[in-house]
Amino acid sequence: MILLGLLLVLGLAGLALVAFMDNDGLFTTSVGTVELFGYQVALTVGEVFLIGAAAGALLLVGLFMLFGGAGRRARRRLAARRELQAQRAENLDLKRRHESIATELAAQRAAEAGAADAEREVEAARARDAKTARDAEIEADERLSTR
C-alpha cells in the first residue's frame, strides 16, 4: 500500500513537472492582479501554479501531522489501556493470594488453638491423674497410720 502511494505521488510529480516545463509562456503570461492583505500582486500562470503546489504540499504536511498525532495518541491510549488491564489483573491476583494466605493463616491458627486446647486437656488430665495419685497416696498413708 505504501509502495502504491509512493508510485502515485512520484507519477503525479513527474506529470506536473512535464506540464510545467512544456508550457512556454508560463512565466510571461499574466493572469491578472491579486489582492492579498492589502497588497496587489500581478501574478503569472507559473507563479499561480507554484503557489498552488506549495499550498498542496503544506496541506499534505498538515494532514500527515494530523494523522500522525492521532495515530500516536491512539497508540498511547492502547498502551495505557493494556497497562491498566495488567495492573487490574495483578491486583486481582494479589487479592486472591492475600485471601488464600489469610485462609491458610486462619486454619493454622485454628489448628494451633486446637492443639493448644488439646495440650491443655492433656495437662489437665495429667494434673487430675497426679492429684488422684496423691490423694490415693494420702489415703494409703492415712490407712497405714491408722492401723
- Please classify residue 47 by burial: count the beta carbons closer than 10 Å to its beta carbon, then call 0-12 exposed, 13-18 middle and 19+ buried: middle
Q: What is the C-alpha to C-alpha distance for residues 44 and 34, in angstroms, rounded to an integer?
A: 10
* φ, ψ dihedrals at 25, nearest 5°: -95, 35
At 144 the pLDDT is: 67
CA 63 to chain centre: 28
The answer, as to whether pTM is greater than 0.75, is: no
Map grid coordinates 503569472 to a residue.
44
Question: What is the per-residue pLDDT across 68-90, written as a single tens digit (0 to 9) for each?
Answer: 888 888 899 999 999 999 999 99
At 2 the pLDDT is: 72
Residue segments in the chain with a per-residue pLDDT below the cut of 50: none
Extents of the domains making up the chain: 30-146
At 7 the pLDDT is: 85
